[in-house]
């Protein structure tokens, strides 16, 4: 086992620096325990959560505030390699390509723990490990998998996926990025927008229209693998977002970008199947994000309520605060059971778009509510940026929009029922 990756990280001598310094820097806060027996995890998954949790609380959580304030993760590349070493970048990839060969439930748990430490890094992680890597695993041919997966799994390369455009978000099949075949290449022209990891990605899965006159419109979409450095491909400056700051998002520009024919992912004009089935799993795995945010809110709120005093007692003992704790906890736990169970079902091969949309719909809206409650519990302290409660709210809101807006998710579920009665 290589230990070179660890040489660079200095371990804080935590047990010599407590307690005063810890409270001042807020690094030593007690996190709330997660009852994994109720969550239905097996021994391996419990151990995995423990390991990943310890690593992240040590190496990511202390940086979360700075990442949000500066809208930049300075040690991104180094951290990605550490994640690769842990084995979490290729969780669903079969062992033969260097992956961990695990399932969606394991992926959700890791996504949750990363988001608990820093939701923006969690989003980048989700985009890399599920949107890019998992799509390659499911749709790539042997050559493509062997070419691109190893470095994506080790953390040397960062992955991304591009479907949205400035005028095509929810209505993604109306995308205008054009791909015209010229000999051994496809020439791409157009732009993509809202692309997570856009500025940093080395490998991107891009959806483009290869047949502008297809009927229906969706039948003209093809997925491509684009590499940073391909002629004609560039990115413009990163977006200044409300939340998920540090998870770099930008516009992609294709000006006569030459992509080899061998980089077509899946089949020509069949990109919509790649896209839609990918969306289901994307929603499932990304649902781990709001779970992590809710857990982080609890981690900070519950201890605070038992430290802060008013009217001669700890405010956690007042009934209205008890009510808030109960509401936050039950929202988190119900969301968790839904997400974990659907993930388990997907691992067993039972995969329904209705539930994949349902889990992220419910988890995201719960997360926004829990984050709002978290701010309320901390009162004035919740309103200042010395405490992370504001960041939790800003980060949580994204999950109601990205990976299909709440409105679209509702449509998916409603239409699934309509289908059953056709």
Q: How far apart are CA 39 and CA 407, in angstroms?
A: 28
Residues 353 and 328: beta-carbon distance below 8 Å:
no
Q: Which is nearer to other proteins, 7 or 319 (CB)?
A: 7
Task: State how far the alpha carbon of 82 is from the alpha carbons of 5, 52, 56, 60, 79, in Å.
Answer: 7, 11, 10, 11, 5
Q: How far apart are CA 281 and CA 334, in angstroms?
A: 20
Q: How far apart are CA 235 and CA 277, in angstroms?
A: 27
102 binds other proteins (CB under 8 A): yes
Write down the least CB distance from residue 84 to other proteins, Å: 10
Residues 399 and 364: beta-carbon distance below 8 Å:
yes
129 binds other proteins (CB under 8 A): no
Candidate list 39, 41, 48, 259; residue touching other proteins; CB under 8 A:
48
Write down the least CB distance from residue 151 to other proteins, Å: 17
Write down the least CB distance from residue 331 to other proteins, Å: 23
Write down the least CB distance from residue 16 to other proteins, Å: 8
3-state secondary structure of 159: strand
The residue from 282, 365, 400, 419 that is catalytic is 282
86 binds other proteins (CB under 8 A): yes
37 binds other proteins (CB under 8 A): no
Residues 406 and 365: beta-carbon distance below 8 Å:
yes
**Those residues with Cβ within 8 angstroms of residue 112's Cβ, 6 or more apart along the chain or in another chain:** 288, 289, 291, 292, 295
Candidate list 25, 50, 143, 174; residue touching other proteins; CB under 8 A:
50
Among the residue ranges 99-107, 197-205, 228-236, 357-365, the one whose residues contact other proteins (CB under 8 A)? 99-107
Q: How far apart are CA 251 and CA 164, in angstroms?
A: 10
Residue 113 bears catalytic tag: no
Residues 251-290: x where in contact with other proteins by CB under 8 A, - otherwise, as a string: ----------------------------------------
62 binds other proteins (CB under 8 A): no
Q: According to the annotation, is 352 in a ligand binding site?
A: no
Q: According to the annotation, is 48 in a ligand binding site?
A: no
Residues 190 and 165: beta-carbon distance below 8 Å:
yes
Whether residue 26 has a cis bond before it, omega within 30° of 0 = no
3-state secondary structure of 346: helix
Q: Where would I find the H helices in 221-352?
A: 271-286, 288-305, 319-347
43 binds other proteins (CB under 8 A): yes
Write down the least CB distance from residue 34 to other proteins, Å: 10
CA atoms in the 13 A half-sphere facing the CB of 392: 34
Q: According to the annotation, is 4 in a ligand binding site?
A: no
Q: Which is nearer to other proteins, 33 or 349 (CB)?
A: 33
Write down the least CB distance from residue 168 to other proteins, Å: 37
146 binds other proteins (CB under 8 A): no
Residues 292-311: x where in contact with other proteins by CB under 8 A, - otherwise, as a string: -----------x--------
Nearest CA among 364, 343, 354, 372 for reference residue 406: 364
54 binds other proteins (CB under 8 A): yes
Candidate list 39, 55, 193, 224; residue touching other proteins; CB under 8 A:
55
Q: Which is nearer to other proteins, 14 or 383 (CB)?
A: 14
Q: How far apart are CA 326 and CA 320, in angstroms?
A: 10
Q: How many CB atoms lie within 10 A of CB 4?
A: 8
28 binds other proteins (CB under 8 A): yes
Q: According to the annotation, is 321 in a ligand binding site?
A: no
Candidate list 47, 70, 143, 330; residue touching other proteins; CB under 8 A:
47
Candidate list 4, 20, 24, 33; residue touching other proteins; CB under 8 A:
33
Q: According to the annotation, is 218 in a ligand binding site?
A: yes
Q: What is the DSSP letter of 253?
A: E
Tokens 């806060």 locate to: 29
Could you tell me the two tokens for 393? 């709210």
Q: How far apart are CA 224 and CA 190, in angstroms?
A: 14
Q: How far apart are CA 322 and CA 305, in angstroms?
A: 9
407 binds other proteins (CB under 8 A): no
4 binds other proteins (CB under 8 A): no
- Which residues contribute to the site for other proteins (CB under 8 A)? 1, 3, 6-7, 9, 11, 13-16, 28, 30-31, 33, 43-44, 47-48, 50-51, 54-55, 57, 85-88, 91, 95, 100-102, 106, 303
Which residues are tagged catalytic?
Answer: 282
């Amino acid at each position: 086992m290589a230990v070179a990756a660890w040489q660079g990280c200095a371990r804080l001598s935590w047990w010599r620096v407590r307690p005063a310094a810890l409270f001042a820097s807020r690094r030593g806060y007690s996190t709330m325990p997660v009852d994994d027996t109720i969550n239905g995890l097996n021994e391996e998954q419990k151990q995995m959560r423990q390991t990943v949790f310890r690593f992240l609380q040590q190496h990511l959580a202390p940086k979360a505030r700075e990442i949000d304030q500066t809208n930049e993760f300075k040690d991104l590349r180094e951290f990605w390699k550490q994640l690769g070493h842990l084995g979490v970048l290729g969780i669903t990839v079969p062992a033969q390509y260097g992956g961990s060969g695990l399932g969606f439930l394991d992926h959700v748990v890791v996504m949750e723990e990363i988001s608990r430490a820093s939701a923006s890094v969690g989003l980048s992680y989700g985009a890399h490990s599920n949107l890019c890597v998992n799509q390659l695993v499911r749709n790539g041919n042997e050559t493509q998998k062997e070419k691109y997966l190893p470095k994506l799994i080790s953390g040397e390369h960062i992955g991304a996926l591009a479907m949205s455009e400035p005028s095509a978000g929810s209505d993604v099949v109306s995308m205008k990025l054009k791909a015209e075949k010229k000999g051994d290449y496809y020439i791409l022209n157009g732009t993509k927008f809202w692309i997570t990891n856009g500025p940093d990605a080395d490998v991107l899965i891009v959806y483009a229209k290869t047949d502008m006159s297809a009927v229906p419109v969706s039948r003209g979409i093809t997925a491509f693998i684009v590499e940073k450095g391909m002629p004609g491909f560039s990115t413009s400056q990163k977006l200044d977002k409300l939340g998920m700051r540090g998870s770099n998002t930008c516009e992609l520009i294709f000006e006569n970008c030459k992509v080899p024919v061998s980089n077509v992912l899946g089949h020509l004009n069949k990109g919509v199947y790649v896209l839609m089935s990918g969306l289901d799993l994307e929603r499932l795995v990304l649902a781990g994000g709001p779970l992590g945010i809710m857990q982080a809110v609890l981690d900070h709120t519950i201890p605070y309520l038992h430290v802060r005093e008013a009217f001669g007692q700890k405010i956690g003992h007042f009934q209205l605060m008890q009510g808030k704790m109960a509401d936050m906890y039950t929202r988190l736990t119900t969301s968790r059971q839904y997400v974990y169970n659907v993930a388990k079902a997907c691992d067993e091969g039972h995969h329904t778009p209705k539930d994949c949309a349902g889990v992220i719909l419910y988890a995201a809206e719960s997360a926004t509510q829990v984050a709002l409650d978290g701010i309320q519990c901390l009162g004035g302290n919740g309103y200042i940026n010395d405490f992370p409660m504001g960041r939790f709210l800003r980060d949580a809101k994204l999950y109601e929009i990205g990976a299909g807006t709440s409105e679209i998710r509702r449509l998916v579920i409603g239409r699934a029922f309509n289908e059953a009665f056709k």
